[in-house]
């Protein structure tokens, strides 16, 4: 069930496991942060893990490999829709916060999605060429939620928090959460640089996939 991991963290926020944050309650901070994290983690893991199947599906099919990868994101899109509906209901009935949604969140979210998808494609290529890359990435995605400012603010962690603050996924989660809840764009300059690099990586990954498509199929 797509809302099980999200529901687990929301329950923990109800029993005051996580601290309150300046500007929003722990419930809002955790529910929005975990939702964004699960989406970004999925946009990295799905193309990375599905690239092999997509390359095999090219045989006798006119669809490009990228089209196969986008089709593979359908389940993630549905899961994300369910999580969004669930979070809206939770915040409507239980959150004390006034949500000041900023439409700019759609733009930032879209750019972040493209960047994470590009990272996933690139990691999928590396996984086919080097092997075992997906295992290491999945370990990070499983435990990275604890070092990305998703369920507690990194500003309260001292020196460790300063290190975590440069985590690209932390910058994405924190920027989108601020826009959704506070209506305020609090992203640092590092986030803009990250988005630009992410879009460059997306173009590079897609062009590399197109050039090495036949070679990668030969490795299957």
The string over 35-63, giving b where at least 16 C-beta atoms fall within 10 Å of a residue's C-beta and e elsewhere, is bbbbbbbbbbbbbbbbbbebbebbeeeee
Beta bridge partners of 21: 24
The rounded distance, in Å, linking the Cα atoms of 154 and 164 is 7
Nearest residue to 126 (alpha-carbon basis) of 203, 38, 200, 49:
49
Instruction: State the pTM of this model.
Output: 0.88
Per-residue pLDDT tens digits for 96-143? 888 889 898 999 999 999 999 999 988 988 888 887 888 899 998 888
- Alpha helix segments (H runs only) across 95-188: 104-130, 133-143, 158-164, 168-177
Residues found in the chain: 220
Indicate the SS3 state at residue 148.
coil
Give dist(CA 54, CA 52) in Å, integer. Answer: 5
Task: Identify the pLDDT of residue 62.
Answer: 47
| Tens digit of each residue's pLDDT (9 = 90 or more) over 32-51 | 999 999 999 999 998 888 87
Please choose, from the candidates 11, 16, 4, 18, the residue with its C-alpha nearest in 3D space to the C-alpha of residue 150: 18
Comparing C-alpha atoms, which of 40, 35, 29 is closest to residue 7? 35
Angle at 166 between CA 164 and CA 170, to 5 degrees: 70
pLDDT at 1: 67
- For residues 86 and 9, the answer to whether their CB atoms sit within 8 Å is no
pLDDT at residue 50 in the model: 82
Domain extents in the chain: 4-218
């Amino acid at each position: 069930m797509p809302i099980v991991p999200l529901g687990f963290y929301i329950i923990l926020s109800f029993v005051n496991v996580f601290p309150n944050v300046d500007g929003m309650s722990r419930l809002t901070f955790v529910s929005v942060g975990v939702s964004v994290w699960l989406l970004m983690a999925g946009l990295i893991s799905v193309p990375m893990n599905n690239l092999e199947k997509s390359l095999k599906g090219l045989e006798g099919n006119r669809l490009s490999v990228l089209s196969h990868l986008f089709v593979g994101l359908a389940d993630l899109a549905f899961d994300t829709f369910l999580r969004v509906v669930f979070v809206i209901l939770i915040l409507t009935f239980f959150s004390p916060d006034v949500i000041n949604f900023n439409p700019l969140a759609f733009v930032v979210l879209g750019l972040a999605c493209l960047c994470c998808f590009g990272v996933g494609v690139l990691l999928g290529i590396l996984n086919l060429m080097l092997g075992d890359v997906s295992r290491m990435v999945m370990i990070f995605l499983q435990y990275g939620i604890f070092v990305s400012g998703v369920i507690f603010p990194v500003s309260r962690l001292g020196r460790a928090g300063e290190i975590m603050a440069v985590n690209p996924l932390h910058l994405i989660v924190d920027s989108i959460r601020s826009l959704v809840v506070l209506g305020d764009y609090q992203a640092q300059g590092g986030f803009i640089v990250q988005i630009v690099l992410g879009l460059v990586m997306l173009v590079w990954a897609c062009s590399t996939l197109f050039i090495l498509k036949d070679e990668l199929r030969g490795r299957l």
